[in-house]
């Protein structure tokens, strides 16, 4: 998502559309729903004639779909690593100084 945001810096409306569609995809109820939302996202992207760099990033998400689907095997687990990353960043800064 960070690379997509970087590519769409000057296109706020497009970024908002992609963010909404991606978050809907990530918050699917099951692996099947996730895959279906991802297919629909890619169909929308093809019909919207997005820049090639952006299409590459979306295709990479499709290619890594099987990795994202592993999260659905653990429904109680967190989908992001923020709860680990933030304290570790703080510790990293402390150790560096």
Residues 61, 38 contacting (CB under 8 angstroms):
yes
* pLDDT of residue 37 exceeding 70: yes
Mind listing the pLDDT tens digit for each residue in 77-97? 776 777 788 888 899 999 988
Q: What tokens were used for 68? A: 């994202």
Please give the helix or strand (H or E) that residue 57 lies within, else none. helix 52-63
Residue 43 predicted with pLDDT over 90: yes
pLDDT at 56: 93
- Cα separation, 75 vs 67, in Å, equals 15
DSSP H helices, 1-97, are 2-7, 12-26, 31-47, 52-63, 65-69, 82-96
pTM exceeds 0.85: no
Cβ atoms of 65 and 31 within 8 Å: the answer is no
d(CA 15, CA 93): 32
Among the ranges given (29-33, 53-57, 83-87, 89-93), the one the predictor scored with the smallest mean pLDDT: 83-87
């Amino acid at each position: 998502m960070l690379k997509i945001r970087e590519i769409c810096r000057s296109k706020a409306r497009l970024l908002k559309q992609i963010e909404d569609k991606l978050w809907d995809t990530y918050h699917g109820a099951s692996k099947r729903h996730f895959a279906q939302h991802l297919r629909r996202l890619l169909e929308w992207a093809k019909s919207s004639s997005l820049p090639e760099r952006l299409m590459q990033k979306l295709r990479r998400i499709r290619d890594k779909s099987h990795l994202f689907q592993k999260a659905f095997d653990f429904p109680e687990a967190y989908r992001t690593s923020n709860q680990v990353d933030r304290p570790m960043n703080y510790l990293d800064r402390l150790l560096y100084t």
